[in-house]
Amino acid sequence: MSDISQSHINNKVGPVMRQGDLANAVAEAAEIDNPGKAITVEDKLAYLRIQTDGEMFLQRQTIEEMLGRPFSMNELEVDLASFAGRIDTKADYVRFHHALVL
């Protein structure tokens, strides 16, 4: 880990979800809602770290489709254990982003 002093220089954003159905739905929604962007999913057994560079959107409707049941955006909090970047919470989507791009 010789790069530890440089590891903070990144623009990764996205949710860290507790494992379960919602985490899997969010990982799928991240792919669909951010076309053309590379989404990485790190599985730490207890949680999934779902990330991309710069900005990530998660649409309520996409998560609802992935879950196959009604979903309101603030239910995300039930399993949203942490996140990289800043969060904007809206009725129909959440957005992760940075104010300062490194």
Partner 1 sequence: MALLGRLDWYNLARTTNWTPGSVTEDELFPPDMSGSMGIPLSKWESYDEPYKQTYPEYVKVQREKDAGAYSVKAALERSEIYEKADPGWQAVLKLHYGAFPRAEYSASTAEARMARFGKAPGMRNMATMGMLDEMRHAQLQLYFPHELCPKDRQFDWAHKSGDTNHWAIVAARHLFDDMMVTRGASEVALGLTFAFETGFTNMQFLGLAADAAEVGDWSFSNMISSIQTDESRHAQIGGPLVAILLENGKKEEAQRIVDMMIWRAWRLFSAVTGAAMDYFTPVADRKMSFKEFMLEWIVSQFERALLDLGLDKPWYWDQLVADLDHASHAMQMGFWFWRPIMWWNNPAGVTAEDRAWLEEKYPGWSESFGTVWDVITDNLLEGKKERTYPETLPMLCNMCQLPIASVPGPAWKVRDFPLEYKGRSYHFCSEGCQWCFEQEPERYAGHLSLIDRFLAGHIQPPNLEGALNYMSLAPGEIGDDAHNYAWVETIRAARQKAAA
Shortest separation between residue 23's beta carbon and partner 1, angstroms: 11
Q: Which one of residues 34, 57, 89, 93 is an interface residue with partner 1 (CB under 8 A)?
A: 89
Q: Which stretch binds partner 1 (CB under 8 A): 24-32, 33-41, 60-68, 78-86?
A: 78-86
Please report, for the chain, how many H helices and E strands are present, in that order.
2, 7
Q: 98-101, long-range: CB within 8 Å, 24+ apart, which pairs?
A: 98/11, 98/13, 98/54, 101/11, 101/54
Tokens of 60: 């309520």
Give residues in contact with partner 1 (CB under 8 A): 1, 4-5, 7-10, 12, 16, 18-19, 44-47, 49, 74-75, 77-91, 98-100, 102
